[in-house]
Amino acid sequence: MKNFLENIYGILIEPQATIDKIIETKPIWQAFSIITILSIASAILGHKEGFNGIYDILFFVGNIVIIFISSLIIWFTLAGFFEVTARIFSDECRFKEILSLMGFALLPWVLTAPLILLKINIPLTITATILEVLVWVWSLVLIFLSVKKVYNLTIQKTWLFFLMPILGTIVAINWISQFFAIFIELF
């Protein structure tokens, strides 16, 4: 437990040193715990109405399960996507490391809970939204630092690492739209 709390504190306050420690220890269960807590908190805070009967309770529990499962799928998919993209730069398999780091990189999202509560007050909505964007940027920076460190990339290669999927998506969308444009012309 002490190690878990040290990792939580470290990723928020001393990310560089903690990223090195996470790469060495690969605490996948700790990252899993973070994903679990974040998904359950998201489901609970997203429920804005009371319970008027058994169906509301069942819907609420179902919502928690769906958000939890989708969070796990996104977590594994994101780590797998990074691993596949990293194969362009390296032959090493670092899935456990990146899986652990992705869980910890999402830790700043815990701070969105009070921000959601701030949005109840209309004048604070803009401030809360700006702070949510900053939390998102904070997580993105942690992901950037994690990818850079786990795959031993330079800053330029890390930027390229993140741009390649975006460029690939643009090319794929272009190809698909061209295919449909040609297909539509046939009929």
d(CA 145, CA 158): 9
Give the mean model confidence (pLDDT) for residues 172-186: 83
**pLDDT tens digits, 141-172:** 999 999 888 888 888 888 888 888 788 888 88
Is 168 contained in some domain? Answer: no
Domain assignment present for 158: no
The predicted structure's pLDDT at residue 48:
66
| Helices vs strands, H then E, count in the chain | 8, 0
Q: How confident is the model at residue 40 (pLDDT cuts 50, 70, 90)?
A: confident
Count how many domains the chain has: 1
Residue 183 has pLDDT above 90, yes or no: no
Q: What is the pLDDT of residues 102-120, one digit of tens each?
A: 899 988 888 877 777 777 7
Confidence check: pLDDT of 53 > 80: no
Give me the domain span that covers residue 70.
Answer: 2-153
First-to-last C-alpha distance (Å) of the chain: 65
Residue 167 is assigned to a structural domain of this protein: no
pTM attached to this predicted model: 0.77
Q: What value does the mean pLDDT take over residues 132-143?
A: 89
Instruction: Judge whether 171 lies within some domain.
Output: no
pLDDT at 82: 84
Classify residue 23: in a domain, yes or no.
yes
Identify the residue whose tokens are 């964007």.
133
Residue 108 lies in a domain: yes
Evaluate if residue 32 carries a pLDDT over 90: yes
114 is a domain residue = yes
For 118, phi then psi, to 5°, come to -65, -30
The answer to whether residue 105 is domain-embedded is yes
The CA-atom distances, in angstroms, between 61 and each of 39, 57, 91, 110 are 12, 6, 42, 21
